[in-house]
């Protein structure tokens, strides 16, 4: 098991949309009618029944802090504010019963929104932190609790099930989320067990008043063992069921663990290292846009460090990247280093003949288009950025403002029938296809519990269609880079091989390894490349480069 989780932070991107949402291929987990997380009406009714202190005007996160400074002294330094700052209602001359402390309340609200509303933590949490006025260590504590609980949900659910003597899915959703939050504090943070139990019972009192005794008993049972002891009790034996053991020990669904192991050639030791890395807080990566910012100077400006591999990467020590002047004025943007590498590889590939017409066929939300547009400006080229979802097309336009980029709001599969997307026209084509996102689970931890194997068939069909369209768009001799943020072999090797076989014309694979910086370890045997969090510190990006014959 891993140690205490470090505070997380919001990441680039947005709620998945694009092709799946526009064309009705939306997987089941994205449908708001999904009842996996319980009866929404019941949850809303319980929230409306909260005590008055938890429903004060202008304070959606509750009123008083939990019992003043006595318990606050058990929390991280920023979690020790005065107990009556957020309200002082008095009834009969006595203080009103304190509500849950604000960082825990915000974490709970974010977790509940993820499970109740299919929200994404990187979208809802920043707004909640701002609304609650949390900054510094308080914000870091709330963020740690939110992301850590979401990452470890599978294992926490197994532990709660055992401690409660009933399946976790039979527990009322608001109480269930509170128990997850409490169990995470007990097992994965330095919060003393008694403080974690007491604060969680206070939380249950506000969201499910009839379950306080039940919650207290469950949480006290959870304190009877540490995380490793719970895994030893509940996980299958590693010798007889290595996939099941790793799934529970490192809180990933079994099908995802199996897909990772297959992509890593069956190496269970390396699979374990990947799972551990997936549960760590990912660093913030900036992309210094070529021609607009020097990465060394940008690193000095933001107090960061130049990246290990991408010539444009800057690692941030923390904070809110959106507040940086370099991001606000378009000299840089937030982008994982792996995404920078695969986009740059397309531009680095040798090309005979003209090189002025570039195409990004699946451009939203615009990170790779921003980098490609900046590179195009330095080389006298122009980029056409295609996005099927209108709101994501607007994001692309914002991300590429001032660059030689034309944004086209259309379906990328219309190459040849849309006059803006003629066949055999473009010199370089990027197909950053919609995928399961299994390569970015450390940044979007809730995705590991939402994705299902049944999502793969419609996604891989869409991937093949888009790659085929990209190959049609490339001129003879032109290059196409196929990219996914997933290491699943069906989305990577199978998709690219099948598309190349079915496209109706000849294509050659270009060895992608020389297109990446010299000295990068663990790039495999080629011609494709799979990046990994535990090997390269990047998201698990896949890259295949094809040349149209």
Contact yes or no for 287/370 (Cβ under 8 A): yes
Establish whether 485 is a catalytic residue: yes
Name 314's bridge partners. Answer: 286, 306
DSSP letters spanning 182-242: HHHHHHHSSS-HHHHHHHHHHHHHHH-GGGHHHHHHHHHHHTTS-HHHHHHHHSPPTTT-H
Q: CA triplet 236, 190, 97: central angle to 5 degrees?
A: 110
Strands 474-484 and 426-432: parallel
Is 362 within any annotated ligand binding site?
Answer: yes
**Catalytic residue chosen out of the listed positions 287, 435, 485, 503:** 485
| E strand intervals along 337-425 | 357-360, 382-387, 405-409
Contact yes or no for 247/265 (Cβ under 8 A): no
Is 319 within any annotated ligand binding site?
Answer: no
Is 364 within any annotated ligand binding site?
Answer: yes
- Return the structure tokens found at 455: 């999502």
DSSP letters spanning 126-161: HHHHHHHT--HHHHHHHHHHHHHHHHTHHHHHHHHH
Contact yes or no for 394/409 (Cβ under 8 A): no
Gap between the Cα atoms of 246 and 271, Å rounded:
9
Name 335's bridge partners. Answer: none
* List of residues 6+ apart from 192 with CB closer than 8 A: 74
Is 411 within any annotated ligand binding site?
Answer: yes
SS3 call for 54: helix
Is 367 within any annotated ligand binding site?
Answer: yes
User: Going edge to edge, which strands form the sheet with 332-334?
Assistant: 305-306, 313-316, 284-288, 332-334
| E strand intervals along 267-379 | 284-288, 305-306, 313-316, 332-334, 357-360
Is 365 within any annotated ligand binding site?
Answer: yes
DSSP 490: I
Distance between start and end Cα atoms, the chain:
50
Is 363 within any annotated ligand binding site?
Answer: yes
- Any idea which residues carry the catalytic annotation? 485
- Residues belonging to the binding site are 362-368, 387, 411, 432
- Residues belonging to the binding site for S-adenosyl-L-methionine are 362-368, 387, 411, 432
């Amino acid at each position: 098991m891993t140690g205490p989780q470090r505070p997380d932070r919001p990441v680039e991107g947005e709620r998945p949309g694009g092709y799946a949402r526009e064309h009705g291929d939306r997987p089941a987990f994205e449908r708001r009618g999904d009842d996996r997380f319980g009866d929404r009406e019941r949850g809303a009714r319980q929230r409306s029944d909260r005590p008055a202190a938890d429903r004060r005007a202008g304070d959606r996160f509750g009123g008083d802090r939990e019992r003043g400074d006595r318990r606050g002294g058990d929390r991280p330094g920023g979690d020790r504010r005065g107990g009556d700052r957020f309200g002082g209602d008095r009834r009969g001359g006595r203080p009103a019963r304190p509500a849950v402390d604000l960082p825990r309340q915000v974490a709970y609200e974010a977790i509940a929104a993820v499970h109740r509303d299919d929200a994404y933590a990187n979208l809802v949490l920043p707004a909640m932190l701002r609304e609650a006025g949390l900054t510094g260590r308080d914000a870091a504590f709330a963020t740690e609790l939110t992301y850590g609980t979401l990452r470890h949900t599978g294992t926490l659910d197994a532990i709660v099930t055992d401690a409660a003597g009933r399946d976790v899915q039979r527990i009322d959703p608001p109480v269930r989320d509170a128990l997850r939050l409490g169990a995470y504090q007990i097992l994965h943070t330095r919060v003393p067990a008694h403080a974690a139990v007491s604060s969680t019972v206070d939380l249950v009192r506000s969201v499910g008043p009839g379950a306080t005794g039940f919650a207290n008993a469950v949480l006290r049972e959870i304190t009877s063992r540490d995380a490793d002891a719970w895994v030893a009790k509940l996980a299958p034996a590693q010798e007889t069921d290595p996939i099941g053991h790793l799934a529970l020990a490192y809180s990933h669904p079994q099908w995802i663990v199996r897909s990772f192991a297959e992509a890593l050639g069956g190496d269970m030791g390396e699979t374990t290292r990947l799972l551990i890395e997936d549960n760590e807080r990912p660093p913030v990566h900036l992309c210094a846009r070529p021609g607009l910012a020097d990465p060394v100077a940008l690193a000095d400006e933001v107090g960061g460090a130049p990246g290990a591999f991408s010539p444009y990467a800057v690692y941030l020590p923390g904070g809110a990247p959106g507040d940086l002047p370099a991001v606000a004025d378009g000299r840089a943007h937030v982008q994982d280093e792996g995404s920078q590498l695969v986009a740059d590889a397309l531009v680095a590939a040798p090309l005979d003949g003209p090189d002025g017409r570039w195409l990004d066929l699946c451009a939203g939300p615009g990170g790779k288009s921003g980098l490609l547009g900046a590179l195009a400006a330095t080389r006298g080229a122009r980029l056409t950025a295609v996005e099927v979802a209108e709101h994501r097309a607007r994001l692309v336009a914002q991300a590429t403002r001032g660059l030689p980029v034309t944004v086209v709001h259309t379906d990328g599969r219309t190459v040849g029938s849309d006059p803006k997307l003629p066949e055999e026209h473009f010199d370089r084509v990027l197909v950053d296809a919609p995928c399961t996102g299994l390569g970015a689970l450390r940044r979007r931890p809730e995705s590991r519990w939402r994705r299902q194997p049944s999502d793969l068939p419609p996604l891989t069909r869409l991937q093949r269609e888009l790659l085929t369209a990209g190959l049609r768009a490339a001129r003879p001799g032109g290059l196409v880079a196929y990219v996914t943020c997933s290491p699943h072999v069906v989305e990577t090797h199978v998709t690219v091989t099948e598309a190349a076989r079915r496209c109706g014309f000849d294509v050659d694979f270009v060895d992608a390894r020389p297109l990446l910086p010299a000295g990068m370890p663990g790039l495999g045997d080629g011609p494709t490349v799979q990046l990994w969090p535990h090997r390269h510190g990047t998201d698990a990006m896949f890259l295949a480069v094809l040349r149209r014959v």
